[in-house]
Structure 1
Amino acid sequence: MESLKNKVAILTTVANFELYEKTSSLFPEGIRSFVIDGRNGMHALHSIFYMFKKLKKEKIDWLIMVDEDVIFKNSQAVFELIEFMKRNEYSVSGVRDGGAIKHRNNNPYALNTFFSILNFKKVSKLFNTNEIIGNQYINKGEFEEDLSQLVYGFDKRSLYEPYYCFYFWLRRKGEKILFLNSKMIEEENEQISNEVFAPNGTSLLIHTWYARSYGKNEKHTARIDKVLKQISFASNPRKPIIFKDPMFYIKMQIFKTVKKIKMKLS
Structure 2
Amino acid sequence: MNDKIAIISTVVNFELYSKTSPLFPKNINHYVIDGRNGMHGLASIFYIFKKLKNKDIDWLIMADEDVIFKNPEKTLELVAYMKKNNFQVSGVREGGIISHKPFNPYAINTFFSILHFSEIEKIFNKKEIKKNQYISPDEFKDDLSQLSMKFDTASLYEPYYCFYFWLKRKGFKFLYLNVDTNFPADDITTSVYVPDGNLLLHHTWYARAYGQNIKHTDRINNILESIPNTDKGDFSPIIFKDQHFGWKLKMKKNFTKIKMKLNK
Q: Percent identity?
A: 58
**Partner letter of residue 198 of structure 1?**
V
* Matching residue within 192, 195, 215 for 1:196: 192
* Matching residue within 177, 181, 184 for 2:178: 181
What corresponds to 1:222 in structure 2? 218
Deviation at 1:144, TM superposition (A): 3.0
Unaligned residue ranges in structure 2 (runs of 5+): none
Q: SS in structure 2 opposite 1:36?
A: strand
What corresponds to 1:159 in structure 2? 156
Deviation at 1:262, TM superposition (A): 1.9
Deviation at 1:232, TM superposition (A): 2.5
* Matching residue within 219, 222, 227 for 1:231: 227
1: CA distance between counterparts of 2:70 and 2:146? Answer: 24
* Matching residue within 19, 41, 60 for 1:63: 60
**Partner letter of residue 35 of structure 1?**
V
Deviation at 1:251, TM superposition (A): 0.2
Contact in 1 for aligned 2:183/2:191 (Cα 8 Å): no
Deviation at 1:187, TM superposition (A): 4.6
Counterparts in 2 of 1:75-224, with a 5 A limit? 75-188=72-185, 191-224=187-220
Deviation at 1:265, TM superposition (A): 2.1
2: CA distance between counterparts of 1:166 and 1:145? Answer: 17
1: CA distance between counterparts of 2:73 and 2:232? Answer: 16
Contact in 2 for aligned 1:32/1:240 (Cα 8 Å): yes
Deviations 1:107-164 (CA, angstroms, capped at 9, x unpaired) = 0000000001100000001100000000000000101321121111111100000000
TM-score with structure 1 setting the length:
0.96
Contact in 1 for aligned 2:183/2:190 (Cα 8 Å): no
2: CA distance between counterparts of 1:55 and 1:154? Answer: 33
**Partner letter of residue 228 of structure 1?**
L
2: CA distance between counterparts of 1:187 and 1:73? Answer: 15
Which structure has greater strand proportion? 1
Q: SS in structure 1 opposite 2:202?
A: strand
Unaligned residue ranges in structure 1 (runs of 5+): none
* Matching residue within 8, 11, 15 for 2:8: 11
- Report runs of 4+ in structure 1 exceeding 3 Å deviation: none
